[in-house]
Amino acid sequence: MKINRPKILIPAGVALVVVLAMAMLYALDLPPFKETREIKAGEVCGSLGDAARAETALKQILPKKSEYSSRDDTTASRVDEKDSSYGTYCFIYGDGKQIAVARAELVEYENTDQWVKEVVEQLVPASSLTPFDAGDRAVASSRIAAVYSPCLSRGASRYLSVHVHLKERGSASDSEIRSGLIELVENATAYAHSRARCDLPSKVNSTN
């Protein structure tokens, strides 16, 4: 009698490959074996404002990673009324990869359309943006939220331009991520408004 053994060996070979692949993923601490979690308040940039509020918003928009870190970079500090320079960056990392960037700076454009074009549309398509109520102009999508807010009543660079750009998103819906980005940029704007010594109302809703 003829025994057809190759039909048994092929599935066994496939199973061996799968086992070896899973063993490699486990050894390298990669999904599905790599433990993931959400960002914590202690891992949030100071320039994003109130840490508890920022933590809640970041949990809503960021992908889950095994570790997070963030770094503040101050490019200019407004030290007195004669100074018209203020600028900060916040870089957020997940598993060593940059996943979000927030930027705040004192600027002034001829009109808000120019601000949208030169600041926001450099990062995301214009067609993805929809307005929300904040500052003199505010737009958002599921990748960015940005606010152009009054700051100084006189001198140069009288407006705060603040945006949060999401480079890698979580699994929430587009509307949920957009909402979280808006919460985050409003929080960051309130912080920048205080640190830049603004003397005009920010026109931004915030607990700060």
Give this prediction's pTM. 0.82
**Which stretches within 62-204 are classed as H helix?**
112-115, 174-195
pLDDT tens for each residue of the chain, 208 residues long: 555 555 544 455 555 655 565 555 445 555 555 689 999 999 999 999 999 999 999 999 999 999 999 999 999 988 777 788 999 999 999 999 999 999 999 999 999 999 999 999 999 999 999 999 999 999 999 999 999 999 999 988 999 999 999 999 999 999 999 999 999 999 999 999 999 999 999 999 865 4
* Cis amide bond preceding 201, omega within 30: no
Cβ neighbours for 48, distance < 8 A, ≥ 6 positions apart: 54, 58, 90, 102, 184, 187, 188, 191
